[in-house]
Structure 1
Amino acid sequence: MQLIKRNLNSTHLILGILFVSMSVYTCKVKQNAVKRDAEGKIVVNTNPSSAYLSPEESLKAFHIQKGYKLELVATEPMIHEPVAIAWDGDGRMFVAEMNTYMQDAEGTGEMSPVCKIKRLEDTNGDGKMDKAVVFIDNLLLPRLILALDDRLLVGETNSNHIYSYRDTNDDGVADEKKMVFRNDEVNTNNLEHQKSGLIWNLDNKMYLTYQDVRYKYDNGMLKTEQLINGSGGQWGLANDDYGRLFYSSAGGETPALDFQQNPYFGRLDVQNQLDKGFQDVWPVIATPDVQGGLSRLRADSTLNHFTACAGQSVFRGNSLPADANGDLFIPEPVGRLIRRAKVVNTDGMITLKNAYDKEEFIATTDMNFRPVNSVTGPDGCLYIVDMYRGIIQEGNWTKKGTYLRKQIDEKKFDKNIGRGRIYRVVYDGIKPDKTPPRMLSIPTSQLVQYLSHPNGWWRDNAQKIMVVRGDKAVVPALREVALNSPVQLARIHALWTMNGLNSLDRPTLLAALKDKDAEVRKTALWICEEPIRAGDETLVNGVAFLKNDPSADVRFQLALSLRFNNSEKAQSIIADLQQGYPDNKILNESQRRYQNYIKSKTEADQKSKLMAAADQKLIKDGALIFKQLCATCHGADGKGINNGGKDMPAPPLAGAKDVNGDPEKLIKILLHGLSGPVDGKVYADIMPPLGGNTDEYIASVISYIRNDMGNKAAVVKPELVKKVRQESLSRTTPWTMKELDAAKK
């Protein structure tokens, strides 16, 4: 155990500041007061003020759909620069603060380890936080938080370690720190291109963005499991009631992706998974501070499509109307809005559709509203984390001379720092659930009842705490729920909890495969994947009958669960599924891409054997970097991002002449970045410089893209990177292709 020494002074104990008068005032605020024209369309404010608004003033500026209201839960000075929240099993809220994020347009002092995680409490049950304590201090831009039991998992910027923190003497301040996952490699990516979104999913695995692994809790430590194509996404990660994951990519300007199948089976995005026009966003004010400049704005100066999408969540509570349950909510901080998406399942294919016609669920005329996260709370409401600030782009994109910097300077966006708000969404006539969670102090046996709770937060935490405790005395009760509960989701959670306790017996699993509910059958098949992958041929035969299941979701999961078993029986079932359902787009496309992946990997392995060991290592290291970083904008296959009919955020690399041509040109681009048109085409974003990384890092990325994606060019040695770096030391701005081409003439 490592003790964290702290001086409990005024910076650690913060008085509650939300007065009763504010709560009364909040209830009276009208939040639908936008102007509309004769046709009922919202009239955009084309010249909004960038001035700071008080919490009360900001509440007045919101447009929110009929019946819904926003309530303040916490605000400055109780919190500052919040980016993520999480509750422990007793309902105490942890808030991760990036206190050093872009405190001016240059990002001065950004990497100082002085950030905090605070623990907030609502002591009187009125929905407003009135007590705050600095739980952890002196952090470097914390980006991952997940409550286990009375421990909080935390990951920081630039580090791949994960620690657990615990308060052992009940003073609200963490005094125990333990490393639960160790990876000594320092992450040198831009802070916008590092992992986020650590969540405990239905399958008892912890997922996050950017990494090629998922985590499993094992006796106090986290163990990794490889994802064959890595994970997508950028800021944030969401899951629904049935364990489906939803990623998003700000760099790729994609509000939702990789939701067709679990990434453990490979990444899968398909055409038309976003409804026509889904990526068009509808702010109620001009949004001049957008990367890419005027091409990203409509004639009325509003953002024309998603760019900074982040912190999405699937609403899974019980204190909003039932038709909101299962909807995906996507914050867009540049647009100052939140999208509500309907999630539609058609024969196993998931598509997303805006819940409103050319409007958003929430939008505002307050230019400093910066929604960066959202989550369902223990009271059954939807919570929104507002970083409430002027600048929302990292320093690589705010340099002097850029379009964005001009807007920052003119609007004085750099002056609004050090604030932050947390809201909850409520609905007229529905009272939030005031039942205080007490899961950390009750016996494990009493947690079983919460697997039937109508709020997903309660179900998730009950399952997680039972698995973490490892108390197998509850297995008989769980078996009874799994076999006989009238609540579909209770049966699903009971199965996964038994599985997490390594106590799911074969008769119960086989009974679940024949459950009357398709989601339960799908769950049982998902659980079967691990023993089937390990070679359990009895179970392969035991699931074969489901190839004729009436549910497309069940049939698709059957193919996925058999994917990693190469026995003749398993592969023949998959072939039968493909032949029997040739029109099932998702099943067949998923299998086609996996087969292509296996083919490409085999070819790459054969090619690698002919290379020197040092070259093999370069390409292997570059592949990992590309999947974690570059694929966000260039696509996992190097063919660019399918952006719903919109322009690609970055040029394709597969078969590109410059990728296969002069390596020094590529080195210069990676060292110093690239702006302007490529092959006559203008892209929304600049290629950020990666020169802060080692020569080996740059060489490995270039070597990988020159030896994959159909490209066939020589590897690039670190020595060449070093040479080009020395020759271009004076370079301070991104290159243009015109400059690079001229340099070789």
Structure 2
Amino acid sequence: MMTIQPTLQLLLQAILILTAQDAPTTISGPGPLEPPAALQSFQLQQGFTLELVAAEPLTTDPVAAAFDEDGRLFVVEMNDYPYTDKSTDLPNQERTTDLPIGKIRLLIDDNDDGLFDRSTIFARDLSWPTGIAVWQDGIFVAATPDLWWLQDADRDGVAEKRERILTGFRKLNVQAVANNLLWTFDHRICGAGGTNGGLLAGAALPKGSPTPLTMSRHDFSFTPTGPPHDFRLLSGGARFGNTIDDFGNRFICNIRNPVQHVVLPLAALSRNPSFTPTSPLHDVAASGDQLPVYRTSPPEPWRIINAARLTGQGDPRMPRSEKNAVGFLTSACGVTVYRGDAWPATFRSQVLLSDVAANLVHRQQLTPAGSTFSSQRIDQNCEFITSTDNWFRPVNFVHAPDGTLYLLDMYRETIEHPWSIPPNLKRHLDLDSGRERGRLWRLAPDKTNTAEAARRIDRQSSTAALAAGLAHPNGWHRDTASRLLRERATPEAAAEVANFLRKTSSAPGRRHALTLLDVWHAVDVALLRQVLQDADAGVRQIGFRLLARRLADADAAATAGADWPAMLISAAQRETDEEVLVEIAFALGAGRFSPQQRAAGLAPLLESPKECVRAAALRASRDTEFHFWKSHVAAT
């Protein structure tokens, strides 16, 4: 149950702020807890435990992280949140003069006990860093306004090469920046774009791309090899969160939209400008005012005052989440689909996210719903994790080599955006308080022994061994094996992965193998026809996606030897999986087919009871309007 008991002292301070001229200089709540005491403040659902794996001074202000194949953890430290000079913090004005004091910290576990023993500063002087992805002997980092490549060729734990591959992300709202870089199934690095927009330029852009490229409200992806890095805009516009499931479906979140599925890709949406769907995103979970949360920490005094002020304004358009100091979701972030193997198997379809302002972790159960998903609260009248400590600020999660999740705790006294706090309250708050703190917690089931779990992958492993890793039950191992294979990119590696694809019974393994072969241009027509009939819908989905791209490129060599219009017409009639039907529609729209062929394939899809399938078919229906009209007249 939710227990909210502000102390008398806090309430008296709140009253003074409202009524007295000699108000206190601060309206702070309780002070910070040292890690042992903080551990005692948590309430977890039965069967789980939290273990501290790192704390200040080993790390401060962690907001994103990524393990390399050696089990080293790169941690993004956003020390410049929310500003470095509050005198320049003005609503809706860019923050170009803030000092870049963010860092990348490298944490090392010397004795394989799962606890980090030492750290080095891998890179300094980064502005608003919020995303990271490992590649070869370095990392890519999203640090608004820039996208960086940082290389450590001698592996001494310090980057000696620093290359800005893109710039122009708008440095406006500190909570709406480019964030959460993520390896996706197409072997590209995908980032959440935030909502600040920007005008982008740099070596990451493809040759011939408009310069500057208008970011608008999109997500993005790029290849690790370059320059150029084939930077592309994607459907999305995530505020702070970016995750995939074992099928490659991508989910994002916004502050009041805890789980959103990216259903319609931007590339496909551009094929028929006459049709514009309401949104390429689907709200998987109830959002904002419809989603109650159950914190166990007391509301901060300033929050009580502000809620009372907004209630007194009597604006019926004001969300309940603003007019109430507690009770509703206000700051969803770090959405993560669990893909590890240390937790019970039932957790593989669960989503975790933080309400960072409410000091809690919430979870939802994902359920397929045709070509998209729905999700429902798992924990009734309570949360997966709560803390009575107002300083607990869970902002993100990272999958670990041992199959668990690590929780990133920024540990700040106040986490709210400066613009969301009225000036008469903000002047009594220290928004920098806690900048020297930060914790990482390991979230694991009770009585689960992960001591023997592999905490690293030898990059010198044989190609066959890495290919076998594509079938590992832990998503981190599959993703890391896939990346290491991607780094090799030799004909021998392609042959080994193709052999694995033909023989493995692992559906996730076949999905990873197929996308690897595609990156290497090693999927011939015979193999493509084979995967389009695979027993796994996820493999078929990827196969039709590859076919659509080849048809759009008019790559005669890559598509010769098959009657693709007839095959797609047949597939549209017999396929039952709605996600695959969406990809079939996109392939029909991409191909240089006759209007009659395209119309014949799209006709059954336009009759689908599912909105996403119909939307995909409408988007693909360029040049078919006359044929559909003619058929309609003939039928009547």
Asked if TM exceeds 0.5, the reply is: yes
Change (3 A) 1:299 1:113: closer
Query: Of the candidates 476, 487, 490, which is equivalent to residue 471 of structure 1?
Result: 490
Cα deviation, residue 308, structure 1: 1.5
1:640 counterpart residue number: none
Query: Of the candidates 214, 221, 242, which is equivalent to residue 215 of structure 1?
Result: 221
Cα deviation, residue 43, structure 1: 3.4
Query: Of the candidates 523, 545, 548, which is equivalent to residue 504 of structure 1?
Result: 523
1:577 counterpart residue number: 604
Matched, 1:350 2:353: no
Change (3 A) 1:196 1:351: same
1:293 counterpart residue number: 307
- Measure, in 2, the Cα distance between the counterparts of 1:86 and 1:107: 34
Letter in 2 for 1:256: V
- Measure, in 2, the Cα distance between the counterparts of 1:399 and 1:271: 31
Paired residues of 2:486 and 2:516 also in contact (CA < 8 A):
yes
Matched, 1:280 2:292: yes
1:299-338 to structure 2, matched below 5 A, reads 303-338=326-361
Paired residues of 1:540 and 1:569 also in contact (CA < 8 A):
no
Higher strand share: 2
Query: Of the candidates 540, 546, 553, which is equivalent to residue 571 of structure 2?
Result: 546
1:553-564 to structure 2, matched below 5 A, reads 553-564=579-590
1:371-410 to structure 2, matched below 5 A, reads 371-398=394-421, 400-401=423-424, 405=426, 409=429
Change (3 A) 1:286 1:541: farther
Cα deviation, residue 299, structure 1: 12
- Measure, in 1, the Cα distance between the counterparts of 2:131 and 2:321: 35
- Measure, in 2, the Cα distance between the counterparts of 1:44 and 1:62: 15
Cα deviation, residue 52, structure 1: 0.6
- Measure, in 2, the Cα distance between the counterparts of 1:263 and 1:341: 27
Cα deviation, residue 326, structure 1: 2.7
Cα deviation, residue 178, structure 1: 3.2
Paired residues of 1:118 and 1:136 also in contact (CA < 8 A):
yes
Deviates more, 1:62-71 or 1:137-146: 137-146
1:177 counterpart residue number: 162
Query: Of the candidates 144, 152, 166, which is equivalent to residue 167 of structure 1?
Result: 152
Identity rate of aligned residues, in percent?
23
1:690 counterpart residue number: none
Change (3 A) 1:445 1:199: same
Change (3 A) 1:576 1:594: closer
The CA RMSD over aligned residues, in Å, is 3.1
- Measure, in 2, the Cα distance between the counterparts of 1:399 and 1:278: 25
SS in 2 for 1:191: coil
Structure 1 residue runs of 5 or longer lacking an equivalent are: 1-40, 600-745
Letter in 1 for 2:510: R
Change (3 A) 1:307 1:566: farther
1:495 counterpart residue number: 514
Query: Of the candidates 224, 233, 252, which is equivalent to residue 230 of structure 2?
Result: 224
SS in 2 for 1:325: helix
Structure 2 residue runs of 5 or longer lacking an equivalent are: 11-28, 90-96, 194-214, 270-278, 312-318, 626-636
Cα deviation, residue 111, structure 1: 1.9
1:94 counterpart residue number: 74
Cα deviation, residue 239, structure 1: 0.9
Deviates more, 1:166-175 or 1:208-217: 208-217
2:50 counterpart residue number: 70
Change (3 A) 1:44 1:397: closer
Cα deviation, residue 362, structure 1: 0.9
Q: Can you list the C-alpha shifts for 1:721-744, whole angstroms capped at 9, x where unaligned?
A: xxxxxxxxxxxxxxxxxxxxxxxx
- Measure, in 1, the Cα distance between the counterparts of 2:351 and 2:597: 35
2:314 counterpart residue number: none
Paired residues of 1:372 and 1:387 also in contact (CA < 8 A):
yes
Q: Can you list the C-alpha shifts for 1:502-556, whole angstroms capped at 9, x where unaligned?
A: 1112212211111122222222112222112224584343333221112222222
Q: Give TM-score, length-normalised by structure 1.
A: 0.68
Change (3 A) 1:506 1:104: closer
2:135 counterpart residue number: 148
Paired residues of 1:107 and 1:394 also in contact (CA < 8 A):
no
Query: Of the candidates 470, 474, 477, which is equivalent to residue 458 of structure 1?
Result: 477
Paired residues of 2:307 and 2:322 also in contact (CA < 8 A):
no
Letter in 2 for 1:43: T
Letter in 2 for 1:423: W
SS in 2 for 1:91: coil
Query: Of the candidates 232, 253, 256, which is equivalent to residue 259 of structure 2?
Result: 256
- Measure, in 2, the Cα distance between the counterparts of 1:589 and 1:304: 36
Change (3 A) 1:484 1:275: farther
Letter in 1 for 2:296: V
Change (3 A) 1:287 1:238: farther
- Measure, in 2, the Cα distance between the counterparts of 1:539 and 1:328: 38
1:650-665 to structure 2, matched below 5 A, reads none
2:117 counterpart residue number: 130
- Measure, in 1, the Cα distance between the counterparts of 2:482 and 2:489: 11
2:21 counterpart residue number: none
- Number of residue pairs matched by the alignment: 545
SS in 1 for 2:358: coil
Change (3 A) 1:540 1:430: farther
Q: Can you list the C-alpha shifts for 1:203-242, whole angstroms capped at 9, x where unaligned?
A: 22222222446334264435335447x4321112111111
Query: Of the candidates 138, 147, 170, which is equivalent to residue 187 of structure 1?
Result: 170
Deviates more, 1:564-573 or 1:423-432: 564-573
- Measure, in 1, the Cα distance between the counterparts of 2:331 and 2:415: 9
Cα deviation, residue 592, structure 1: 4.9
Cα deviation, residue 297, structure 1: 6.7
Change (3 A) 1:151 1:170: closer
Paired residues of 1:259 and 1:350 also in contact (CA < 8 A):
no
Matched, 1:203 2:186: yes
Q: Can you list the C-alpha shifts for 1:44-93, whole angstroms capped at 9, x where unaligned?
A: 44449532111111111111111011111110111111111111122210
Change (3 A) 1:361 1:590: farther
Cα deviation, residue 122, structure 1: 1.0
Q: Can you list the C-alpha shifts for 1:482-510, whole angstroms capped at 9, x where unaligned?
A: 22211111111111111111111221221
Paired residues of 1:275 and 1:351 also in contact (CA < 8 A):
no
Paired residues of 2:242 and 2:336 also in contact (CA < 8 A):
yes
Q: Can you list the C-alpha shifts for 1:127-155, whole angstroms capped at 9, x where unaligned?
A: 11101011112222222211012211122
Change (3 A) 1:345 1:534: same
- Measure, in 2, the Cα distance between the counterparts of 1:62 and 1:105: 34
Q: Which has the higher contact order (CA 8 A, sep 6+)?
A: 2
Cα deviation, residue 113, structure 1: 2.1
Letter in 2 for 1:169: D
- Measure, in 2, the Cα distance between the counterparts of 1:351 and 1:196: 25
1:591-602 to structure 2, matched below 5 A, reads 591-592=617-618
Change (3 A) 1:222 1:334: farther
1:422 counterpart residue number: 440
1:657 counterpart residue number: none
Letter in 2 for 1:65: Q
Change (3 A) 1:363 1:563: farther
1:370 counterpart residue number: 393
Change (3 A) 1:290 1:485: farther
- Measure, in 2, the Cα distance between the counterparts of 1:268 and 1:121: 41
- Measure, in 1, the Cα distance between the counterparts of 2:505 and 2:542: 16
Paired residues of 1:245 and 1:262 also in contact (CA < 8 A):
no
Paired residues of 1:88 and 1:150 also in contact (CA < 8 A):
no
Query: Of the candidates 449, 471, 480, which is equivalent to residue 499 of structure 2?
Result: 480
Letter in 2 for 1:255: P
Q: Can you list the C-alpha shifts for 1:387-409, whole angstroms capped at 9, x where unaligned?
A: 0001212333345225xx27x63
Cα deviation, residue 190, structure 1: 2.4
